[in-house]
Structure 1
Amino acid sequence: MKILIVEDEKKLAGFIQQGLSQAGYLAEVCNNGSEALEMAIKNDFDLILLDLMLPGINGFDFLKNLRTFGTETPVIIISAVADSKQVVQGLDLGAVDYIRKPFEWDELLARIRTVSRFSNGSGQQKINIEDLEIDIPARKVKRGNTEIELTSKEFILLEYLARNANLVLTKNQLLENAWNMNFDPESNIVEVYMHQLRKKIDKGFDNPLIKTVIGAGYMLKGDKQ
């Protein structure tokens, strides 16, 4: 699940991003309402966490414009603005939930899980490639009849590969999207995790799914079911 955090308090935004990453989610941060709107329209996010008091455009205008452009990404408002009139306004503009600051971390995660379960209408969000099944909300992976245990970071990496199946992903893309890190030519973190992931996903199976494209990057190759 890929989440956009729209929050101008950089310390809080960093805290939320770190916590979401540890919980197994992909998370990006934007501190400006206008820039966040452009990101939300151009990119495929599964959820937006939205503050109301923002530079650029405020959260209410963000919501109006987001829906005007036809983007239906679920939005949870997180704001210190606690007046019921503002809560109603935010929900009427298309937010699916409203959390008042300060908030409990476990409550935020629970609200995110709820949105994840029901955002597709079916209560399911799975990616199937060949005999590989990735259950996003449940954070479970199976290959054939075999359940595969992954760490949070391995799951994030596999999810990103699966969402972009059959496309070559560069080391830079993997760092930015699975680790929220800028490219470091000296780092071998991608190679280490891809080696671990390949052992868990492909070892013991006749048809390896994770491919190394020499000089280019990596891909998860197979037919989507």
Structure 2
Amino acid sequence: MKRREIQAMIAHYGADALTEALEPFVSERRLARIEAVLDARLTSVEVAVERPYDPHNAAAVVRSAEALGAWGVHVIAASERIVRNRSTTAGTGEWLEVSSYGDLDAFLGSARARGMTLAGACVDATHMLDELPLDRPICLLFGNEHAGLSPAAQAACELRYRIPIHGFAESYNLSVSAALSLYSLTARKRAALGRAGDLDASDPRRAGERLRWIVQSVDPRHVRARFPLPAPPRPTPDLGAGDDTTGVE
């Protein structure tokens, strides 16, 4: 089920009602897995891709981000659908937040409101991947395979870094760059934290994710039958529109 649909159910029926009705349908083993994954989530690590070009590469970023415990993926100046290729993501896009923005400014406003430090991957950067700071929330920003990050995106980054290359290749592709960067950053974050993740039990985002994952773990036919959403209202026809056919002159 899409996260938007689950959110609509929560808004309509309430979180407690969904939890009480659906949790009994989830096995103890699955509930334990949900808690373990929540324990390993890093809310201080996000990924953004500007103008993704290749849908397979873009979707692979989502899969790596979810597997390594990042909190969310942001798509800039492209449709969110480009990162939802299920043959590549293997469904992982349903287990973390994927957001899309019409342009760079919209993304920057959101990232700054959440206190994220932007670190752009650039082949000519002076800082190295393993020098990224661990003491603040960070969003790794990548460009597409053809153009890289736009000048505006590079200018907006507080940090610019590069990934070491020891061969003749001049760069890595998008999905490999994201996977290498995420692996390095999340491993160093966890070592600094001394635990798998930073999503505390008192954080309301944890309860929200837990419920969404419970819903995802139940047959969607059962969920929709138990919690049907009202149909959107039909548009009211404009009876005054169209040609004047009264014949009155």
TM over 0.5: no
The answer to which structure, 1 or 2, has the higher relative contact order (CA under 8 A, 6+ apart) is: 2
Structure with the higher fraction of residues in strand conformation = 1
Structure with the higher fraction of residues in helix conformation = 2
TM-score by length of 2: 0.35
